[in-house]
Amino acid sequence: MQDNTLDFGQAEFQEILNQSSKLVLKQFAEVMDRKGFHDFEQTQIESWFDERVPEQGMPVAELLKFVEAKILNTATGNIGPHMYAYVMAGGNQIGVIAEQLAATINQNVAKWHLAPAITEIDKRVIQWAAELIGFGEKVGGFIGSSGSSANLDGLTVARNIYFEKEDIRANGIFGMKPMVVYCSDETHSSVDKSVQFLGIGTNQLRRIESRADFTIDIAMLERQIKADRDHGLQPFCLIGNAGTVNTGAIDDLNALADLAEKYRLWLHVDGAYGGLAASLDTKRHLYAGIERADSVALDFHKWFYQPFEVGCLLVKEWSILNRSYFKKAAYLDKSLEKGSGRLEFNEHHFLLSRNAKSLKVWMSIKAFGVARIKAMIQKDIDLTDYLNEEINAAKDFELVATSDLAISCFRFKGDLVDNDEITRLNRLLIAALEHDGRVFITGTTLKGIFVLRACFINHRKTRQTTRYLLDVIREVGEELIDREFKS
Ligand SMILES: Cc1ncc(COP(=O)(O)O)c(C=O)c1O
């Protein structure tokens, strides 16, 4: 290591890179066999890191060995095929390389001249995303960290633009009529957090009961809008789902757009889970109307198989973001700089410093082409259909909800017949399967019924790994029945 910087000599750094590349390669050599979860006690893992801040450094080779043993080898199997919980896409290898390159050049997409190529790549990825989902040619947007942040961004922009005449950015919401937001009861919890954050309050978030297919009930929604107006409230925003987190339900986006037009409301679409599947020929029709939305939230770390984190907000024009966020600051003033046409992301969002999240998306699209990525999304959907067929054919499983996308909700019954017992068994299965660790799956509640929920969002899944899921659940479930229900 050199004395007066934190850099290593070139040869030493080369050796470190070689060692770390070996670790990366090993992860992929073993990826198909990765356990879903390693069942260590929390206190044990805490103890590995329990030390005072180190005054002196350690040899990097030793550090890498520790990282391999305690972090890589114990990591939850998000990259492997046995992960079914939440919405955990497995990343991709180009993404791994892009992350390293992005950290190397350490660009800051706050200002164009701090990251010229990356700023243009951000813009290009936003344009491509709009094209892929059929949002239209005219688009502005923001590459952020996640679906949650994109939902917050969408609602912030909705509030700031809708109440622009009231100068809400200066006045705040004080003295205004309560402003009301509408969505289905299947909408993601980031929306609740967003309305809390924005001062709207969850009491003004109308979670309209969904229909049997988990999409929003349009007639009930309209009745609620009218009732709120009659009570002197200010409806201003509808949220449509382009794939709910529980079942992948896609709301009738055209019907929502009609209501938005009729009542002059902002339409935000949460496509964090399912939005990018609108690029598939087999699914595009389900998203009809998405082009009429004012804003759309997307997540590339879901169905574009990117390593965490990268999400995206789309709006119809750049000026919408500028009107929502621009704040002059003397030290950021660009008036003395050369060149027009430079887009300044700090003038279009709350964030200032921001890393090159778009590089991995852009490099993945360039390397694989969207046809190949779309084929992987389709494979996830086809494998979900296959799982559903297997469940329907099995006497000891019960399918509770299917999806147009790639989420299956089901219960393991074994030979139990009593509904309460089946519910208790499936609740017990969550911890038992975590302890077993071969597959990682979690549950959810659908209209009062507790179910296991399998989300297929990993290009490394196969029919064989799909059958393995049922085999493991069956094995662990039968043991549970013997232990908890038969003794
Ligand atoms: C429909 C939907 N919206 C929003 C989110 C939040 O996304 P993130 O985890 O990237 O914040 C999720 C996450 O699963 C989701 O499925």
- Any idea which fold 107-368 has? Aspartate Aminotransferase; domain 2 (3.40.640)
* Residue to probe by mutation, ligand 1, list 299, 404, 453, most atoms within 8 Å of CB: 299
User: Does 439 score more than 90 pLDDT?
Assistant: yes
Mean local confidence (pLDDT), 420-440: 98
Cis peptide before 309 (omega within 30 of 0): yes
Query: 432 near 472, Cβ under 8 Å?
Result: no
Kindly give the distance from the C-alpha atom of residue 404 to the centroid of ligand 1, in angstroms, as a whole number: 17
User: Does 2 score more than 70 pLDDT?
Assistant: no
Using pLDDT thresholds of 50, 70 and 90, give the confidence band for residue 42.
very high
**Among 458, 450, 321, residue whose Cα is nearest residue 398:** 450
**Token pair of 357, please?**
């999240």
Distance CA 279, CA 289 (A): 14
User: Does 401 score more than 80 pLDDT?
Assistant: yes
Q: What is the pLDDT of residues 149-164, one digit of tens each?
A: 999 999 999 999 999 9
Q: What is the pLDDT of residues 307-316, one digit of tens each?
A: 999 999 999 9
Four-residue CA torsion sign, 204, 209, 215, 220: negative
Round the average pLDDT of the chain to a whole number and report it.
97
Q: What is the pLDDT of residues 119-152, one digit of tens each?
A: 999 999 999 999 999 999 999 999 999 999 999 9
Residue whose pair of structure tokens reads 């107006």 in the numeric block: 229
154 CB within 6 A, ligand 1: no
- Range(s) of the chain covered by CATH 3.40.640.10: 107-368
Residue nearest to atom 16 of ligand 1 (CA): 245
Residue 462 CB coordination number (10 Å) = 13
Query: Quick one: how many helices (H) and strands (E) in the chain?
Result: 16, 11
According to the model, what pLDDT value does residue 402 have? 86
Q: What is the pLDDT of residues 240-299, one digit of tens each?
A: 999 999 999 999 999 999 999 999 999 999 999 999 999 999 999 999 999 999 999 999
Per 3-state DSSP, what percentage of the chain is helix, strand, and coil (rounded to 5)? 50, 15, 35
According to the model, what pLDDT value does residue 344 have? 96
Distance CA 248, CA 107 (A): 36
Query: 72 near 96, Cβ under 8 Å?
Result: no
According to the model, what pLDDT value does residue 1 have? 67
User: What separation, in Å, do the N-terminal and C-terminal C-alpha atoms of the chain show?
Assistant: 64
Kindly give the distance from the C-alpha atom of residue 301 to the centroid of ligand 1, in angstroms, as a whole number: 10
According to the model, what pLDDT value does residue 340 have? 79
Residue type, 140: G
**Token pair of 310, please?**
């990268």
User: Does 334 score more than 90 pLDDT?
Assistant: no
Cβ-in-10-Å burial (0-12, 13-18, 19+) of 18 comes to exposed
Instruction: Give the CATH architecture of domain 371-485.
Output: Alpha-Beta Complex (3.90)
Using pLDDT thresholds of 50, 70 and 90, give the confidence band for residue 3.
confident
Distance CA 181, CA 159 (A): 10
Strands (DSSP E) found in 77-219: 140-144, 179-184, 205-208
- Range(s) of the chain covered by CATH 3.90.1150.170: 371-485
